[in-house]
Structure 1
Amino acid sequence: MKRMLTSSAAVVAGLAVVLTSAACGDAAGAKGGGKEKVTLMLNFYPYGDHVPYYFGKKKGIFDRHGIDLKIVPGKGSNAVAQAVAAGKADFGVVDTAAVLTSVDAGVKVKSIGSFFQTSPSAVQFFNGSGIAKPQDLKGRTVALTSGDPYADVLPAFLKANGVPAGEVKTVNVQPAAKIAAVISGKADALVGFISDQGPTITEKTGKPTGYLLFSDWGVKTLGAGLVASDRALAKDSKLAASLWKATSESFAAAVKEPDAAVASMEGASPSLPAQKVLAEQWKRASRLLHTQRTGSAAPGVNDEADWNDTIKLFAGLGVLKSARPAATYWKPVGR
């Protein structure tokens, strides 16, 4: 498999979608012990992608930046973007594709930095299935979720690799059903994040999984990062800058100390994956923190060209109305 990602070594150099207004009133903008109380809403239930946030909280990194961090789960990037815009959470973890589509739909948020700068989106399958390259998907069935922006990328992935879309059958299922579809044999593969479904399938079945990462095969897009509301950024961007810096340091620390970082998630959620699954999820995710343009930079430092490439791709797919300037969606707040 082609590999265009920066190595981990380079990186080193409840369950509600929306919090109640009352709950956020206790957190947003409040002071506690000389620190700012901040609510961060994750894009989903806690899993391996979120290791750095919990590790940074446990190590006191957020405290050192004057932030008393509260982490809460979400149920999808689009819903989280809306919650942040509505003031129901101070910041959110949102996939870049959802930032683009949300802003296009009038949601008043901006990314303050993508931390997974290579998207974890991929076609995933059991090892031994006979799938080793995109051409092997001909005649196969792929499970995906309609409305997921990265499901919309599948045609571009197939086209980039000379696979006629009509030769690959797709089945539309709910997000949680994609894993079951592959395990049961109803689908040969699924479209999802390599840092999520693959390790979970292996734990459930004892069978290893493989993947075709879109970015390895000619379709490069930014992944998830932090968002803030336009209102909050206009009022005072200093808090966003502090959160960005603390998050960047937390990601670097989690890469340097992966075992301790994974252990820091203990008790984060009743539905938390097993520790060995979390470890594999973070191992996969930690390889995705940079692009070729940002390999020597700190985690979360984005290059405008990467944003423009991502915007152009989604506009070309018709997911966005037009390719608007990167500043429409992204406001860098720190270095």
Structure 2
Amino acid sequence: MHARRLLTGLVPLMLITTAACGEDGSATSTSDSGKKLDKVTLTLNWYPYGEHAPFYYGKQQKIFEKHGIDLTIRAGQGSQKTVQATAAGQSDFGWADTPALLAGVDQGMKVKSLGVFLQTTPASVQFFDAQGIKAPADLKGKTIAGTAGDALSKTFPIFLKKNGLAESDVQVQNTDPAGKIAAVISGKTDALLGYASDQGPTMRNKARKDVGYLRFSEHGLNFYSNGLIAGPKSLAGDAKADVAQRMVRAVSESWAAAEKAPEPAVAAMHGASEQLPPQEVLSEQFKTTLSLLHTDATEGKAPGVNTEADWKQTIDVFAEAGMVRSPKDVSEYWDAGTALKG
């Protein structure tokens, strides 16, 4: 499991070099057709993997250019660091897990969501099919690899409770994020806490065994996952707000386009990173990601359209999990004025 999911403890911000700016604080370039573009940086939650295909496809298809944006995509080192960097103005925009955003705001960071795109959580218990796990009750007596303090481990007790199980019914073995898949493959644990759009396809590829999932969302527990975030640097003043609104529209259009052409979207990631997963893993990751775009309230709407009720549900879950100590109004986390309208 990637360290991008960890939410405990703040770490020093890494300096991100920004583009040279003009006197008004903006940076621009000119397209091949002579159109003036605003230079924009987007820091991902981790190194590129299947979930990020829409950003690369949007660049390739000139969707961002259409909206007057010259986009630079940067690898991240965890949602927590992306939230920090975006709040500090070291990145114009970020792509980060909503629990990390909630925790950041709880700690006083000035950062807001411009729209959550993965509105159904990919949080899940993952295991090889040979384990014979078909329902939450089958987890009783199992050993599961988890990382203390992260969003998965914090919400797992709520998942168990909703499915009639006690925390004592399973043993969660504290495992370094990078070691979870190895723990399951080696048989040290029966399963892991991970994300269906991330670890599962990798585990299947490495072991050449079919992987099964118990998704939290299919067993009574859902909350927001990854979305577009911005800090004061990108929201202050009419000119900046205009760029932010264009960025939101461009990201939404890129996701809609990638959803209609998943194979070309994944192909657009070629060369994005030396650490890029194999093509078959990327394809499976993105296929799963596309199943996470909506809740019942947003089905049929453009990618990135949120509702206040879904936001409140997410805040409530993480307040119950103890990751949000002082729950605030939805407006403190989500900039509905900049976000897409339903």
Aligned to 1:40: 42
Aligned partner of 1:193 among 177, 192, 195:
195
Please say if 1:31 is aligned against 2:28. yes
Whether the 8 Å CA contact 1:18–1:88 is kept in 2: the answer is no
Please say if 1:278 is aligned against 2:275. no
**CA–CA separation in structure 1 for the residues paired with 2:243 and 2:126:** 38
Aligned partner of 2:232 among 230, 233, 241:
230
Q: Work out the number of aligned pairs and report it.
A: 318
Aligned partner of 2:183 among 174, 181, 184:
181
Deviations 1:224-251 (A, max 9, x none): 0011003431333111111110010111
- What amino acid is aligned across from residue 250 of structure 1 in structure 2? S
- What amino acid is aligned across from residue 66 of structure 1 in structure 2? G
Whether the 8 Å CA contact 1:18–1:74 is kept in 2: the answer is no
- Where structure 2 has 5 or more consecutive residues not aligned to the other structure, the ranges are 1-11, 31-35
Aligned partner of 1:75 among 74, 77, 86:
77
Please say if 1:93 is aligned against 2:95. yes
SS at match of 2:206: helix
Whether the 8 Å CA contact 2:43–2:76 is kept in 1: the answer is yes
Aligned partner of 1:258 among 231, 256, 262:
262
TM-score under structure 1 length normalisation: 0.92
Deviations 1:131-168 (A, max 9, x none): 11111111111111122122200000000000111111
Whether the 8 Å CA contact 1:42–1:80 is kept in 2: the answer is yes
Deviation at 1:18, TM superposition (A): 6.0
- What amino acid is aligned across from residue 83 of structure 1 in structure 2? A
SS at match of 1:252: helix
Deviation at 1:323, TM superposition (A): 2.8
Change (3 A) 1:139 1:30: same
Deviation at 1:19, TM superposition (A): 6.0
**CA–CA separation in structure 1 for the residues paired with 2:211 and 2:49:** 18
- What amino acid is aligned across from residue 243 of structure 2 in structure 1? L
Whether the 8 Å CA contact 2:89–2:233 is kept in 1: the answer is no
Aligned to 2:291: 287
Q: What is the CA RMSD across the aligned residues, in angstroms? A: 1.4
Whether the 8 Å CA contact 2:117–2:304 is kept in 1: the answer is yes
**CA–CA separation in structure 1 for the residues paired with 2:278 and 2:294:** 27
**CA–CA separation in structure 1 for the residues paired with 2:249 and 2:182:** 39
1:308-327 alignment, distance < 5 Å: 308-327=312-331
SS at match of 2:266: helix
- What amino acid is aligned across from residue 29 of structure 2 in structure 1? G
**CA–CA separation in structure 2 for the residues paired with 1:45 and 1:31:** 26
Deviations 1:271-300 (A, max 9, x none): 100111100000001010000000021000
